[in-house]
Amino acid sequence: KYSITSKADYKISKKLDTADTFFEKGQLDEAQKHYESILAKYPDSPRAMYGKAETLNKLAELRQSNPVLEESIETMSRVLQLPDTPDELFIAAGRKLADRQQFRGWGGKAVGTWKQIIQRFPDRLEFQNQLGVSYLMIGQNEKARNAFKTVLEKSPSDGFAQVHLGFIIKTGDNNPQAAIPLLRAGIESGATGTIDGRFFFHLGDALQRTNQSDEAYRIYSLGAEKGLFLSTYQRSLYNSEGLTGRPWWKPEQTGYAHYLKLLEDNWQTIREEGLSQLDPKTGAFIPEEENLREKGDWKQFTLYQRGRKNENNCAKVPKTCALLDRIPDATSCKRGQIKFSVMHPGVHVWPHCGPTNCRIRAHLGLVVPPGPKIRVTNETREWLEGKFIIFDDSFEHEVWHDGKDLRLVLIIDFWHPELTEQQRRNLSPI
Ligand code: LMR
Ligand code: MN
């Protein structure tokens, strides 16, 4: 403990060790008392302040208490302000503080903490990288970009900065060409924090979008080998373990056949309501916004998302939503949506994977001209009016519409049938 003990703390190190021992044994109240009594006499003791903050943090966890967490954060921030905090303790406290601030939802304060650390250690590039990450977490992409660029100016082969800058250029600037060398070099560095599904995902995607799909699949299978993807073709990043994964599903395999039949039996009613919303003046279809299209006009009209009903939109298509309300396995699906999807001729949707393996996606054909088709892994199908096609959209899929008239479908995400009630309740929404 030499490196975290200041000269003054050295003189009271027995007391500090005793308090630490209580903390380590989980006797938090006892630890707390000891730290407090040290601080009463030595208010500038860095180790006692740090110990007190750590104890409060543990208590906050146990009691799931925000006020206690906030007190812990306040106490930890004092460790950085004390006159005599040793380097190593300063860094440990700074890391903890930024982490807890982020956890509390105070991303802006976490940024401030990293700045404070950088002020004391301007040459440690790892901290500049962490500053970049904390900017990313609050959506300040330009500031994040500058942080990673600063690192790369001083150390051009810093893998951590490379993958993050590549990620910003790919997802923020939508510039796959420029992102590829950075993502590739960063991943190949193997540096801490670079072997991450998101970077493999976007490197592969950037390669696919620039006509290098052989190389993309090399990256994807490497990602699968490293356990970052469920498989080369199933690349969702928010997964539940042990679920059956297959690209195309038959109605009987879902356990939802009766619901699918209910909707197929009423497909013309659903079609009428969907068509009624297509008028660009009065309708409320919204262009696809996830940057999945290479080209063309593709819009959606959402009825449920993240397990919640859009009351406004449902009021416009009441019969459809009344039918859907009888299908809790879909309306409660917090990891999916229910939406009309209209696709005009000329669309190409890039190959892509949905975010999660926790849902099964069913499309009910409503208006289906010749032309549009969808590939899921290696099998391409077409829609039929009044019929469902069912697939797992965590597998790679790609859509083309080379026909002459619009295509309209109702997209319904169901919970993966193997998820238990409890899992469905506890999974975070997407
Ligand atoms: C998709 O889910 O990516 C597409 O299949 C949606 C659509 O409208 O065909
Ligand atoms: Mn999709």
Q: What is the pLDDT of residue 19?
A: 98
Residue 349 Cβ inside 6 Å of ligand 1? The answer reads: yes
Name the token pair of 374: 């969808």
Q: Which residue has the tokens 């309306």?
A: 331
CA-nearest residue, atom 6 of ligand 1: 341
Classify the phi-psi angles of 227: left when phi > 0, otherwise alpha if psi is within -120 to 50, otherwise beta. Answer: left
| 8 A C-beta contact, residue 129 and residue 160 | yes
Task: Give CA separation, 285 vs 299, 303, 348, in Å.
Answer: 6, 11, 19
Task: Tell me the chain's radius of gyration from C-alpha atoms.
Answer: 27
Q: What is the pTM of this model?
A: 0.91
**Total length of the chain:** 430
pLDDT at 379 over 90: yes
Which ligand minimizes its atom distance to the CA of 298? Answer: 1
Residue 393 Cβ inside 6 Å of ligand 1? The answer reads: yes
pLDDT tens readout for residues 403-425: 999 999 999 999 999 999 999 99
342 CA closest ligand 1 atom index: 8
Which ligand minimizes its atom distance to the CA of 285? Answer: 1
Instruction: Tell me how far apart the terminal alpha carbons of the chain are, to the nearest angstrom.
Output: 44
Cα-based angle 20, 21, 25 (whole degrees, multiple of 5): 115
Q: What is the pLDDT of residue 148?
A: 98
Name the token pair of 279: 């008028």
pLDDT tens readout for residues 24-42: 999 999 999 999 999 999 9
Q: How far apart are CA 321 and CA 330, in angstroms?
A: 12
Residue 16 Cβ inside 6 Å of ligand 1? The answer reads: no
C-alpha 397 to ligand 2 mean position (Å): 7
For the question of an ipTM over 0.90, the answer is: yes
Residue 399 Cβ inside 6 Å of ligand 1? The answer reads: yes
Q: What is the pLDDT of residue 119?
A: 98
Q: What is the pLDDT of residue 280?
A: 81
Q: How far apart are CA 268 and CA 226, in angstroms?
A: 47
Residue 341 Cβ inside 6 Å of ligand 1? The answer reads: yes
Q: How far apart are CA 84 and CA 44, in angstroms?
A: 8
Pocket test for ligand 1, best of 376, 392, 393, 399 (most atoms within 8 A of CB): 399
| Residues 6+ away with beta carbon under 8 Å from 257 | 251
Give the three-class secondary structure for 16: helix
361 CA closest ligand 1 atom index: 2
pLDDT at 281 over 90: no
Which ligand minimizes its atom distance to the CA of 412? Answer: 1
Smallest CA-to-CA distance from 270 within 337, 331, 317, 332 is with 317
298 CA closest ligand 1 atom index: 8
Name the token pair of 135: 């900017």
Residue 374 Cβ inside 6 Å of ligand 1? The answer reads: yes
Give the three-class secondary structure for 83: coil
Q: How far apart are CA 382 and CA 194, in angstroms?
A: 39
pLDDT tens readout for residues 144-189: 999 999 999 999 999 999 999 999 999 999 999 999 999 999 999 9
Q: How far apart are CA 413 and CA 399, in angstroms?
A: 18
Residue 317 Cβ inside 6 Å of ligand 1? The answer reads: no
- Listing from the earlier edge strand, what are the strands of the sheet with 348-352? 293-295, 348-352, 397-401, 372-376, 379-381
pLDDT at 359 over 90: yes
